[in-house]
Amino acid sequence: MNIIAGCGLLLMSTSCNGVFDDIYDKAPAPAEGDLYIDASSWTKWHYINLHELRETVENGEKAKLSITTMDIPLTDSSDFDKDSTGIFTYWYDVFGKGITSRERRSYYATIPQPEPEHWDLAFHRNNIRTNGGEVLETSLKDINQVGTASLYATLPFVADSWNETDVWTVQDRMLEGLIGNQRIKINNELGKWLSVNIPPMPPIFSHADNVFIVRFNDGTCCALRLKSYINEKNVKCCLTIEYKYPL
């Protein structure tokens, strides 16, 4: 049974990389001005700086998204606190109750996740982090209807929180149903825009195309809407994002 479950997890892994292309919608081509981030890697975080992007436009230059990619630390480092950063291995009940049923099996500490000096958002597959920001989910489907930041000032935004079960990064024991997860702060509110549901196999991707508002620690806000999670080659976890910054 462990081998069967592990094979199912391998199917889940490859389904983000073109094996089950025919069962998903085809990707629209990114429009000019959209953000495009290939976040399909299990072992990398991709950072963007919207503040820098805005300055580029204000200086009369064509907007060009700068993406900084940094590896997830996987090497054991006993000098760091196991309860704040590290790799936490869980067993997932893939063919039973699903991946929400799990058991922690082991952990080891690593160095903290490397980050660029200036960044606003970071992406890893269906995981998202903010740099000290907060997120609000709206019911809007049209990003042009979001209005100004003041409209959302008193609404309940959600900050990033520690997570050790959802940033899947180590695959070497998948045949045993075991996945190594990076313990790191992510934003579960913004993460609602792309969910991976198991069972069934292959997994079902749930794509929410409503608008989310991100409030950064300097008080500025942006609006984001996930238009697509696949690219023109049908690779999953490649994100085309409509954005508006600042509001």
Domain coordinates in residue numbering, the chain: 2-244
Could you read off the pLDDT of 150-178 as tens digits, one per residue? Answer: 999 999 999 999 999 999 999 998 878 89
Give the pair of three-digit tokens for residue 130. Answer: 């903010």
pLDDT of 186 above 50: yes
Q: What is the mean pLDDT of residues 73-92?
A: 85
Rounded Cα distance between 23 and 20, Å, is: 6
Lowest mean pLDDT among 92-96, 125-129, 166-170, 236-240: 92-96
Contacting residues for 59 by C-beta, under 8 A, at least 6 apart: none
- pLDDT tens digit string along 193-216? 999 888 777 778 889 999 999 999
pLDDT-wise least confident of 25-34, 58-67, 206-215 = 25-34
pTM, entire model: 0.85
At 95 the pLDDT is 78
Q: Are 188 and 161 in contact (CB under 8 A)?
A: yes
pLDDT at res. 17: 42
Per-residue pLDDT at 5: 43
**pLDDT for residue 99:** 87
Q: In the predicted model, is pLDDT for residue 8 greater than 60?
A: no
| 75 pLDDT above the threshold of 80 | yes
Average pLDDT, the chain: 84
Shortest CA distance to 185 belongs to which of 171, 167, 203? 167
